[in-house]
A and B are shown apart, each in its own frame.
Chain A
Amino acid sequence: MSRHPLFPVLLIATIALAGLILGLTGDSWEDWLANAALALCLIPIGRASLRR
């Protein structure tokens, strides 16, 4: 069974959204997780720029 073409986009969006909300609940590892989840959004951009 082939994956839906939007699967990676929705997966990244779900993780980023979960991180954003989780970040509101605490000031320690919650913030760290929120920042990591948001930074995840930018990884595909960096990867595509490095690819030849």
Chain B
Amino acid sequence: MKPGTLRVWSQVHTWSSLASTAFLLILCLTGLPLIFHDEIDALGKAHKIEQWDEAQLVPLDHAVDVALAKRPGEVPIYLSFDEDRPVVNITSGRSADVPEAEMGFQPIDRRGAVAAGGGQTGGVTDFLLDLHKDLLLGQGGMYFIGLVGLLFVAATVSGIVLYAPFARKAGFAKVRRAKAPRIGWLDWHNLVGGVTLAWALVVGLTGTINTLADPITAWWRADALAHLTSGEGGAVQPYRSGLVQKAVANAMAKAPGMRPQFVAFPGSPFSSGDHYAVFLQGATPLTKKLLTPVMVDARTGEVDAIAPMPWYMKGLLLAQPLHFGDYGGLAMKLVWTLLDLAMIWLLGTGLYLWLGRIRKRAR
């Protein structure tokens, strides 16, 4: 590599790293407990996978009505299904398009249409997640974190490019202890940065994709969802009890072997004004994450259209597990923790090396 090219890469590495280090440190520190958010949330709660008889459950509409009776004047926005208990979670609000902060959330046990436990927000992990995803600054903060993710990717790629001449000189995974301490730290920095390359790139890129969830969903709603519903628009169909159960049953009949994950009511961000969008998931771990929307007419309960998600929505759905590392059991969480700690160490040594260079120049 020519000295001039090396200098350019060095500048990219230095400035992309410096601009993002403080924020990456916040992300790594808040991300560390978030790896174990399931375990932390379950602390002090008895959790077991329950068995139930489908025939004894009340219809979905009944559960929605019970939830709405507790919040008069509100309309249903989403209905989601718990996997390990016969509980549906009803999200409601004054209208279907209210901001997330104004939505109410009620878990309803379908064995008796009574309120179920869970659903409380405002815990430690919720706070850490908010800090992690938007620095408590809302949508603007989220886009900023996306930018930090891109700077991190630039720092990682430029770091690898710069590592090539060092690896040629010192050899891969060699730390020159006999040399000056600074050389030793540089070798460690290069080694850790090199071996964590794939993980760092995946976490950085998927983190950036996750910050774009709102515009990507809005794009999907305007593009693919509009095609699915043949561009029908107009007023939002008001909620009528008696159609949700039928909508879910009809949707499941169109896609055998799939089960509902959640239902978006008419007017919500994941549906059109006159459709129930029933999101089905497959049986395998991969198809479980790649949801298939079935658009059901909100007047008749009949299926209008079914289509797999477009590539960009699939990308968004897969970015979440790839960012959080929560799909490989406790072993993956432990490795994720070690890699997160390695990243914190990388940030610290990077800063130390830069400060050392500045001091050397000042002398």
B152 within 8 A of A: no
A1 within 8 A of B: no
Interchain Cβ contacts within 8 Å, total number:
102
Q: Are A9 and B286 within 8 A (Cβ)? A: no
CA distance A44 to B163 in the complex (A): 15
Among A8, A24, A45, A51, which residue has its beta carbon within 8 angstroms of that of B327? Answer: A24
Q: Are A9 and B332 within 8 A (Cβ)? A: no
CA distance A41 to B192 in the complex (A): 9
Q: Are B172 and A45 within 8 A (Cβ)? A: no
B197 within 8 A of A: yes
CA distance A42 to B338 in the complex (A): 8
Among A30, A41, A45, which residue has its beta carbon within 8 angstroms of that of B199? Answer: A41
B89 to chain A, nearest CB (A): 24
B174 within 8 A of A: yes
CA distance A31 to B147 in the complex (A): 31
- How many residues belonging to A are interface residues under a CB distance threshold of 8 Å? 30
Q: Are A35 and B285 within 8 A (Cβ)? A: no
Among B163, B194, B199, B332, which residue has its beta carbon within 8 angstroms of that of A23? Answer: B332
B191 within 8 A of A: yes
Among A5, A20, A51, which residue has its beta carbon within 8 angstroms of that of B175? Answer: A51
B160 within 8 A of A: yes
CA distance A4 to B262 in the complex (A): 50
- How many residues belonging to B are interface residues under a CB distance threshold of 8 Å? 38
Q: Which residues of A contact B164 (CB under 8 A)?
A: 4-6
Q: Which residues of A contact B339 (CB under 8 A)?
A: 38, 41-42
Q: Which residues of B contact A25 (CB under 8 A)?
A: 284-286
Q: Which residues of A contact B332 (CB under 8 A)?
A: 23, 31, 34-35, 38
Q: Which residues of A contact B29 (CB under 8 A)?
A: none
Q: Are A31 and B329 within 8 A (Cβ)? A: yes
Q: Are A31 and B328 within 8 A (Cβ)? A: yes
Given known A-B contacts A20-B322, A26-B284, A9 and B335 have beta carbons under 8 A apart: no
Q: Which residues of B contact A23 (CB under 8 A)?
A: 327-328, 332
CA distance A4 to B286 in the complex (A): 35
Q: Which residues of A15-49 have CB atoms within 8 Å of chain B's CB atoms?
A: 16-17, 20, 23-27, 30-32, 34-35, 38-39, 41-42, 44-45, 47-48
A46 to chain B, nearest CB (A): 10
Q: Are A9 and B322 within 8 A (Cβ)? A: no
Q: Are A42 and B197 within 8 A (Cβ)? A: no
B246 within 8 A of A: no
Q: Are B160 and A16 within 8 A (Cβ)? A: no
Among B173, B289, B336, which residue has its beta carbon within 8 angstroms of that of A8? Answer: B173
B197 to chain A, nearest CB (A): 4
Q: Which residues of A contact B174 (CB under 8 A)?
A: 48
B202 within 8 A of A: yes
A30 to chain B, nearest CB (A): 8
Closest to B172 in A: A8
Give per-residue flags for B283-301: 1 if the beta carbon is below 8 A from chain A beta carbons, else 0: 0111001000000000000
B236 within 8 A of A: no
B307 within 8 A of A: no
Given known A-B contacts A9-B163, A9-B172, A23-B328, A17 and B198 have beta carbons under 8 A apart: yes
Closest to B193 in A: A9
Q: Can you name 24 A-B pairs with beta carbons within 8 Å? A: A4-B164, A5-B165, A6-B194, A8-B167, A8-B172, A8-B173, A9-B172, A12-B195, A12-B198, A13-B198, A20-B199, A20-B322, A24-B289, A25-B285, A32-B331, A35-B328, A41-B195, A41-B198, A42-B335, A42-B338, A42-B342, A45-B195, A48-B174, A48-B191
Query: Using a CB–CB distance below 8 Å, which chain B residues touch chain A?
Result: 160, 163-165, 167-168, 172-175, 188, 191-192, 194-199, 201-202, 284-286, 289, 318, 321-322, 327-329, 331-332, 335-336, 338-339, 342
Please list the 4 inter-chain residue pairs (A to B) with the smallest Cβ-Cβ separation, ordered nearest first.
A5-B167, A16-B198, A13-B198, A5-B168
